[in-house]
Amino acid sequence: MWIFWITWSLLTCTSALLCLTGCVVPAWLKGSVHVSAQSLQTELLLDLGMNTYGMSSRLGLYRRCVYPVYVQAGPDPRAVTTSSSRAKASGSGRVQNSGPRADLIHLRSTCGHYEFALIPHTAWRIGLTLLVLSSIILVFLSFFLLLSGCYLTVLSLVRVQRTCQVLLLIAGTLAFLCCGIYPLGWNQNSEVQQICGQSSSSFRLGKCCTTHTKRKNP
């Protein structure tokens, strides 16, 4: 019974950790952001003959690392306001929709997160909801199984075993649906097209790759 308990607990805790990592880490897609040197107004790049400048960017369900921020100069050259055609990061790291595109561009190397209502695709909102529900179920089961080690007789009850099995099946189904829905959010998604190119669409990565695979040269 001890081996059964240890194996079941370890597998459930591992599954919960993987789901939580998927929620938090913005490492689902990896691409790059390219902007013109003139937009950046970087004299060094222009002197070197570089017309564009690019940085590696990562995108998850609700987080993004490395994103462009458009800077609009006011009457006073020293006073600028930042905005983005699709998103901007506030001081708290939130990525929000904003006004019209400006002339200058900054590439921020930090990570920001979207507010739920501003996640760039409905499919991603659904996927995030499913993954969060799956994580909640798995975390609950992990605590229950770990605590049941103090009284293993509980796990010998058929009703308890079946309840845990059903909850694990539900959690697995929700996580599987999230993985299936996520590529649907690549279609007509300006954030994905920004780092993956215009050729990206549902189930087509374009110039991007998943984080743990090597990106192919375009």
* Residue that the structure tokens 């055609």 belong to: 85
Residues 87, 43 within the same domain: yes
Pairing of strands 94-96, 104-114: parallel
Residues 16, 73 within the same domain: no
Other CB atoms closer than 10 Å to residue 69's CB: what's the count? Answer: 19
Residues 114, 125 within the same domain: no
Q: Which residues pair with 29 in a beta bridge?
A: 59, 210
Give the closest residue to 13 by CA, choosing from 171, 201, 210.
171
Question: pLDDT by residue (tens digit) across 87-96?
Answer: 444 444 555 4
C-beta of residue 72 within 8 angstroms of C-beta of residue 103: yes
Print burial letters for 70-97: b (CB count within 10 Å at least 16), e (below 16): bbeeeeeeeeeebbbebbbbeeeeebbe
Indicate whether this model's pTM tops 0.85: no
Residues 6, 45 within the same domain: no
Does residue 212 belong to any structural domain of this protein?
A: no
Average pLDDT over every residue of 179-190 = 89
Does residue 198 belong to any structural domain of this protein?
A: no
Q: Would you say residue 132 has pLDDT above 50?
A: yes
DSSP secondary structure letter of residue 74: -
Does residue 207 belong to any structural domain of this protein?
A: no
120 residue type, one letter: P
Does residue 152 belong to any structural domain of this protein?
A: yes
Residues 96, 165 within the same domain: no
Look up the domain containing 67 and give its range: 29-59+63-118
Does residue 163 belong to any structural domain of this protein?
A: yes
Other CB atoms closer than 10 Å to residue 137's CB: what's the count? Answer: 21
| Count of domains forming the chain | 2
Does residue 142 belong to any structural domain of this protein?
A: yes
Residues 36, 108 within the same domain: yes
* Residue that the structure tokens 């991007």 belong to: 208
C-alpha–C-alpha distance, residues 68 and 208, integer Å? 17
Residues 78, 45 within the same domain: yes
Residues 161, 149 within the same domain: yes
C-beta of residue 34 within 8 angstroms of C-beta of residue 52: yes
Please, is 181 exposed, middle or buried when counting C-beta atoms within 10 Å of its C-beta (0-12, 13-18, 19+)? buried
Residues 109, 134 within the same domain: no
What confidence category does residue 50 fall into, taking pLDDT thresholds of 50, 70 and 90? very low
Does residue 213 belong to any structural domain of this protein?
A: no
Instruction: For residue 7, give every residue at least 6 positions away whose Cβ sits within 8 Å of its Cβ, in sequence order, or none.
Output: none
Question: pLDDT by residue (tens digit) across 198-214?
Answer: 888 888 888 888 765 55
Look at 94 and 165; give whichever has higher pLDDT. Answer: 165
Residues 104, 134 within the same domain: no
Does residue 192 belong to any structural domain of this protein?
A: no
Residues 16, 34 within the same domain: no
